[in-house]
Amino acid sequence: MSGIRTTGPVQWQNGKVARSDRERLLGQHAVTVWLTGLSGSGKTTLAFELERRLVQAGRACYVLDGDNVRHGLTADLGFSPADRSENIRRVAEVANLMNDAGLIVITAFISPSVTDRARARAVIGNDRFLEVFLAADLAVCEARDPKGLYARARAGQIPEFTGVSAPYDVPEFPDLLLSTGRDSVDHCVDEVMRLMTDRLWLSGPSDRR
């Protein structure tokens, strides 16, 4: 974040410490791993296991989970298309700020709209945004149904439910596709960390080529 950004009477105030300074302090690259997929595809499970593994490896990171942020940050929003877009917008802005603080961020959101995901990437920055698509068939997700949401949606109790009465835009070119209906959580976490390593995101800032 450089220069002064102006919106009417509101100006962006620059500090004296840059994101790169915070990255050097923490010895890591600040990036966002954006997990997207149907309800029941394993986003939350994968997010918290990835967080555990990264912390175990000495990385400072944090999970922004779809259910958790609706207890506070987006508690005023419903599940209409407009509200869901605003939900993703706010999360992207928070992830961007946390990246600016030098943290690795993992988000776990259905984020069904390709437009909303593209906007999130634009806010966070293409060079530090990793879109990970959790590909699990609808039948698999319904069979899991950990919260009983599919059953309620089929009964007409939940309107505009993704995969049942609302669409999900399957990512055409995700940075990583994980078959969470088939592969284990450990295997999927390994794949994410392997890609992060390949991109030199898990090396210290001074090591980046």
What three-state secondary structure class fits 53? helix
| Token pair of 59 as six digits | 């990385």
Please, are residues 94 and 73 in contact by the beta-carbon 8 Å criterion?
Answer: yes
Q: What is the identity of the amino acid at 156?
A: G
Return the closest-CA partner of residue 29 out of 65, 63, 64, 61: 61
Q: What is the identity of the amino acid at 79?
A: F
Query: Where does residue 180 rank: exposed (0-12), middle (13-18), buried (19+ CB within 10 A)?
Result: buried
Among 111, 113, 184, 206, which one carries the catalytic annotation? 111
| Token pair of 41 as six digits | 């595809």
Query: What DSSP assignment string belongs to 67-85?
Result: HHHTTTTTTT--SSHHHHH
Distance CA 46, CA 121 (A): 20
- Assess whether 111 carries a catalytic annotation: yes
For the annotated catalytic residues, the residue numbers are 111
